[in-house]
Amino acid sequence: MTHPVFVVVGNVNRGKSSIVSTLAADDTVRVSPVPGTTRECREFPMRVNSEILYTLIDSPGFERARKALSWLEEHQSATSDRRKVVEEFVRVHKDSGEFPQECALLQPVLDGAAILYVVDGSKPFSPRYEAEMEILRWTAQPRMALINPVEKNASYQEWRSVLDQYFNMVRVFDAHLATFDQRIQLLVALRELREEWRSPVDRAIAILQDDRRRAAHESAVVIADMLVDMLVMVAEKPIPEEADPERFKPELRDKYHDKLRKREIKGQTELRKIYAHSDLEIDAGELATVEDDLFSEATWSQMGLRNAQVIAGGASAGALAGGVIDAGVGGTSFLAGTILGGMIGGAAAWYGSKKLPDVKIHILPNVGRSLRIGPMKNPNFPWIVLNRAILYHEVVSHRAHARRDKVNLVELQQGESRVSKLSSDLRMKIEKQFAILRKPRPLQAVQLQTEHAVRRNLVEPIEQALNQDTSESPKTAPAKPGLTFPGGAPSR
């Protein structure tokens, strides 16, 4: 066995598949409230760059544990023979059809996999579970019990007092709410199950943490590209010489707004792909682009922005200019320049919010007249897009893969905006790049060079914004390697 293998076992419908889905970061694992969804063992390797770090095996639940244990006890001659008796049980019954699920889950255990035994903490302990635990103890394989906390604030003391008797370790682990840090904590505990697994598990943790940093960087690149594309985007439509341009303007505006929305959706799809959320459904709501939407109180409220916050964004940039005035007079103005610059910047943001793309007529050689709309000049627009992107990234980067419910991004956008939590220095770095794109450049070669530079310059501040602790999910310090917690330690 070249890498650690963990088989997830337990009674039917106790959250085994959810554990596998979250620890393997794989939303293709079938998770269903219907009992017996898993009917055979399926392997789910945790891969990073084609390297398998560990494998989780989703197994069917125990179906006739007490009868199986009775068979084992009848054929036992000595305590030291228990593992051999389990091996004989599987050999005798694997093709008989009498104990299909017990044989299916025991085979990978006998092949060397460690055991993750899952119980539903919301259900009271029953003596019938002892048969399952006893069978697993007979295998003599390393064992950890995971209490699935279905109900918050439930007491698991009875479960812990029993599980401690059968398992090397006991943990509380919520597969639906587990953060990345909590997954790492669990791996730190799993490394203690087998001494020879310490090195490969340590390597797996280091690779996963590096991959997490890579994902944040790739996300910043995706968001930077999306912002630049949307800010320089135009839409055109050729029109006949004798035609009235007004007839074609509504259609062209719709085309332009549709292009903007499709570009945002493309960026969101790329973010989901980075974090392996291929099947995650997120209702992000409509991106505001039309005139009434962009500077309406309702839109800013929906995006988590308010008039004062939009003005504050402009004030930050204005304060930068004002600070230059203070420096120029040796500081004798007592920051009057900064205050004045902030006031000017705030006013510019307010009045600048009215700037929207005009539909203009262009005369093109060999083509004739053409209507063009864009690029977007509204200074609030990129901040609305960035705010949505940061929130979208929060969802996909913190979302446990076991969760299958639809995410309503509009509801999450209520309250304080993500961009308002950024430091003023960070906001100014980003706004400086937005302002560069708003300046017209007549030569196409110069424009392309400018866009390329802005893409590159936006990545670092956006990555810093993504790494800020703006998530509602609390950060937790990883447990120290080598420590165990008898009776289990809640993971949240």
Q: Which domains does the chain have, with CATH numbers?
A: 5-176 (3.40.50.300), 215-467 (no CATH)
**Element at 412 (helix H, strand E):** helix 409-412
- pLDDT at 335 > cutoff 80: no
Which of 232-236, 314-318, 379-383, 477-481 is least confident? 477-481
How many angstroms separate the Cα of 446 from the Cα of each of 27, 377, 449?
Answer: 44, 19, 5
Whether the per-residue pLDDT at 331 is higher than 50: the answer is: no
pTM attached to this predicted model: 0.79
- Residue 472's pLDDT band, with cuts at 50, 70 and 90, is very low
pLDDT band at 153 (very low <50, low <70, confident <90, very high): low
What does the alpha-carbon distance between residue 11 and residue 61 come to, in Å, rounded to a whole number? 5
* pLDDT computed for residue 2 by the predictor: 79
Residues 387 and 7 sit within 8 Å (Cβ to Cβ): no
Q: Which tens digits make up the pLDDT trace of 178-218? A: 999 999 999 999 999 999 999 999 999 999 999 999 999 99
Q: If DSSP codes are grouped into helix, strand and coil, which group holds residue 374? A: coil
pLDDT beyond 70 at 487? no
Note the pLDDT tens digit of each residue in 411-430. 777 767 889 889 999 999 99
Check whether 304 has a pLDDT greater than 70: no
Helix (H), strand (E) at residue 249: helix 249-274
C-alpha–C-alpha distance, residues 52 and 73, integer Å: 38
Reply yes or no on whether the pLDDT at 485 is more than 50: no
CA-to-CA separations, 135 to 6, 68, 72, in angstroms, rounded: 17, 8, 8
Of the listed ranges 170-174, 187-191, 209-213, 467-471, the least confidently predicted one is 467-471
Does 171 have pLDDT greater than 90? yes
Confidence of residue 120 (pLDDT cuts 50, 70, 90): confident
Give 409 or 46, the one with higher predicted confidence.
46
Segment holding 115, helix H or strand E: strand 114-120
Mean pLDDT of the chain: 80
Measured in degrees and rounded to the nearest 5, phi and psi for residue 356 equal -130, 160
pLDDT above 90: residue 264: yes
In this predicted structure, the answer to whether residue 435 has a pLDDT above a threshold of 80 is: yes
Phi, psi of 96 (to 5 degrees): -85, -25
pLDDT at 222: 98
Nearest to 222 by CA among 396, 69, 70, 408: 396
Would you say residue 306 has pLDDT above 80? no
- Band (pLDDT 50/70/90 cuts) for residue 18 is confident
Q: What angle do CA 51, 55, 56 make, to 5 degrees?
A: 150
Range from 182-191, 329-338, 424-433, 440-449 carrying the lowest mean pLDDT: 329-338
What pLDDT, on a 0 to 100 scale, did the predictor assign at position 152?
63
Backbone φ and ψ of 429, nearest 5°: -60, -45
Higher pLDDT, 484 or 455: 455
Q: Does 177 have pLDDT greater than 80?
A: yes
Looking at residue 151, what is its pLDDT?
A: 66
5 neighbors 201 (Cβ within 8 angstroms): no
Terminal alpha carbon distance of the chain: 32
pLDDT of residue 36: 46
For 134-143, 387-396, 435-444, 482-491, which range has the lowest pLDDT when averaged over its residues? 482-491
Q: Give tens-digit pLDDT for 39-50.
A: 578 899 999 988
Amino acid at 289: T
Low-confidence winner among 67-71, 122-126, 258-262 (lowest mean pLDDT): 122-126
8 Å CB contact between 117 and 136: yes
Residue percentage of the chain with pLDDT more than 90: 48
| Dihedrals phi, psi of 415, to nearest 5 degrees | 95, -155
Cα 182 from Cα 19, distance rounded (Å): 12
Cβ 393 vs Cβ 466: under 8 Å: yes
Residue 459 or 124, more confident? 459
Residue 367's pLDDT band (cuts 50, 70, 90): low
